Amino acid sequence: MAELLKKIKGNTYYIKGPVNTGLYVYDQNRCVVVDTGSSDDWGRKIYKALKAEGLEAEMIINTHSHADHFGGNNLLVKRTNAEVAASGIEAAIISNPYLEPLYLYSAHPPKALQNRFLMGKECRVDRIVEPGNFTIGQTTLEIVDLKGHSPGHIGVATPDGVLMAGDAYFSTHIVEKYKLTYFINIADTLDTLNRLKDTDYCYYLPCHGDLSSDIGEEIHSNLKAINETMGMIRWELIKPLTREELGAAITEKYNLDLNTTQYYLNQSSLAAYLSYMTDEGMLKRRIEGRRMVWEAV
């Protein structure tokens, strides 16, 4: 295989990039592409890599609907006629990308948020997938429920025992660099991370980070970071704070730079922590002085 395609095992390959793309080859020269990067450029890169090897993309599976995972869909679909598959809620966003800045902002988003990081190019989804077997040609892949980072996040396990894990977890160096990594549902994230810990795939390919045969350390780093954030939230909420005030305190503690996009991603992630911790009885919420405040119990 050409340099661009790196072999993982058997018929499973990947293209390394800012967002790793997974590939599974079946029936000689057909392939399934898992996630397509952030742009037409990345789609073009995937297309060239496939063409160089005489491979035909039959199916694109998107692990989730963040703009950096389906940005190459349109170009690939146009050039290869591949079908696109995603889970139901992620398919709704891939085919209506406005929903991402809409949910982050909770109303019609200002133009600054309708940017290429938060709003991909609309793409039709042909097949809605659910966890379980996914048959294409003579091959059966396994769709794995990896909810948490996004509401309908899935992974794709190939017959070679490789799990393409999307953004279900992040490599340790990424967790250490960004500290407040994005999760939209903490209960689902904890469930997914704990389930992943007990799996024994030969290889794991996250979209952001490195291919690994053992993700014990990565899972530990992700869980540790979540627990640290929860500890920090409890500590800050010894006094009642609004989400805005809490966000300022946490990002200052983590020494994070903020731009408009990052601000709304952080606020969304913090909202996920506030829901989880309130539902688990760690925090309580009330309206005080016409502000919504949270406080540790």
Closer residue to Zn ion (CB): 45 or 66: 66
Minimum distance from CB of 215 to Zn ion (Å)?
A: 17
Closer residue to Zn ion (CB): 18 or 216: 18
Burial 213-251 (b: 16+ CB within 10 A, else e): eebeebbebbbebbeebbebbeebbeebbebebbbbbbb
Per DSSP, 104 falls in state H
Out of 66, 71, 93, 250, the only residue in the binding site for Zn ion (CB under 5 A) is 66
Contacts of 57 (CB under 8 A, 6+ apart): 31, 32, 33, 46, 47, 50, 76, 80, 82
Name the one range near Zn ion by CB under 5 A: 165-173, 187-195, 229-237, 243-251. 165-173
Name the one range near Zn ion by CB under 5 A: 72-80, 122-130, 161-169, 220-228. 161-169
With beta carbons less than 8 A apart as the criterion, state whether 37 and 22 touch.
no
Name the one range near Zn ion by CB under 5 A: 38-46, 131-139, 166-174, 218-226. 166-174
Name the one range near Zn ion by CB under 5 A: 19-27, 64-72, 247-255, 287-295. 64-72
Report 229-258 residues binding Zn ion (CB under 5 A). Answer: none
Q: How far apart are CA 31 and CA 162, in angstroms?
A: 15
Out of 40, 90, 100, 167, the only residue in the binding site for Zn ion (CB under 5 A) is 167
90 binds Zn ion (CB under 5 A): no
Q: Which of 279, 181, 166 has its CA nearest to residue 222?
A: 181
Q: What are 2's two structure tokens?
A: 């050409």
Q: How far apart are CA 130 and CA 294, in angstroms?
A: 36
Closer residue to Zn ion (CB): 58 or 167: 167
With beta carbons less than 8 A apart as the criterion, state whether 190 and 169 touch.
no
Which residue lies nearest Zn ion, judged by its C-beta?
66
Closer residue to Zn ion (CB): 79 or 103: 103
What are residue 245's phi and psi, to 5 degrees?
Answer: -65, -40
Name the one range near Zn ion by CB under 5 A: 10-18, 24-32, 59-67, 88-96. 59-67
Closer residue to Zn ion (CB): 114 or 278: 114
Closer residue to Zn ion (CB): 26 or 170: 170
Closer residue to Zn ion (CB): 25 or 154: 154
Strand partners for 285: 294
User: Which residues would be at the binding site for Zn ion (CB under 5 A)?
Assistant: 66, 167
